[in-house]
Amino acid sequence: MKRIGFIGLGIMGKPMARNLLKKGYALTVYDIRPDPVADLVAAGASSAASCADVAGQTDLVITMLPNTPEVKNAVLGNGGVLEGARPGLLLVDMSSIAPLASQDIAARCSEKDVVMLDAPVSGGEPKAIEGTLAIMVGGPEDAFEQARPVLSCMGSSVTRVGDIGSGNVAKLANQIIVALNIAAMSEAMVLAARSGVSPEKVYQAIRGGLAGSTVLDAKMPLVLKGNFKPGFRIELHIKDLRNALDTAHDLGVPLPLSSSVMEILQALRADGHQKEDHGGIIQFYEKLAHVQVRSGT
């Protein structure tokens, strides 16, 4: 399968698409913004006039979009993927959306003999650039095996979790754990700073023990520099936790800790931090404790 379409060239999508080009795939791209399209065309991609145009030129279409409404519009709307799709097209939605929405979209796709996988990712912009994302996939096993070589160009871990929607269930679990880890890190480091102990020294002391984690090593060095440039924006984590809470409530599953972190994220949005990296959760605690966690403070 050599003809790949890619729709959605944002912080994550653009480097993911670039990695497919590096692996030699013929790539057709589309985004509502012209600049990222122009950048990828300069790197060897072809451009399309619409989502339908992408589908008409390719065998496998990847969507990487902010949320459910954008995915539904790109796939089901006027000028959408299904409008241009031929029978047998494989659609891989790598957006993070509600599991039930993935199932609904897949059902609509099947009416046109289009098979869909939901394949959200974890790792943020750095791993998107490196091509080392963790990719969680839901959908038919034969379609997964068909897509696996393409997905492996963008991720170091590609795992089929189960049927359609299960990839997004795994992503919601991932986002709960990440958010709670960042909040726990923030509480701990603000306590250290308020106690007059260097947060950087505390980080170095604990990172090799049981409290050490991928989240701690990814976010603490940035926090120490006061760097909240978005690798994954707070507003997107709000979206993911909203999907997690809605899904959990539909299933009768209480998520008390996720609910608490959701309120922290909402407070940060109210303070104008929604475009910053989710490592900026620490700013909520800094404000409460009247202290900053920075190297040298």
Catalytically annotated residues: 171
Which 3 state secondary structure label does DSSP give 52?
helix
Contact by Cβ (8 Å): 62, 55? no
Contact by Cβ (8 Å): 46, 174? no
Question: Cα separations (Å) of 152 from 95, 148, 166, 229, 273?
Answer: 17, 6, 19, 27, 34
Q: Tell me the β-bridge partners of 137.
A: 160
- For residues 268 and 282, what is the distance between their CA atoms, to the nearest angstrom? 10
Question: Cα separations (Å) of 133 from 37, 38, 55, 127?
Answer: 22, 24, 25, 5
Dihedral angle of Cα 29, 34, 38, 44, to the nearest 10 degrees = 0
Parallel, antiparallel or unpaired: strands 90-93 and 121-122: unpaired
- Dihedral sign for Cα 120, 153, 61, 110, please: negative
Alpha carbon of residue 1 to chain centroid: 25
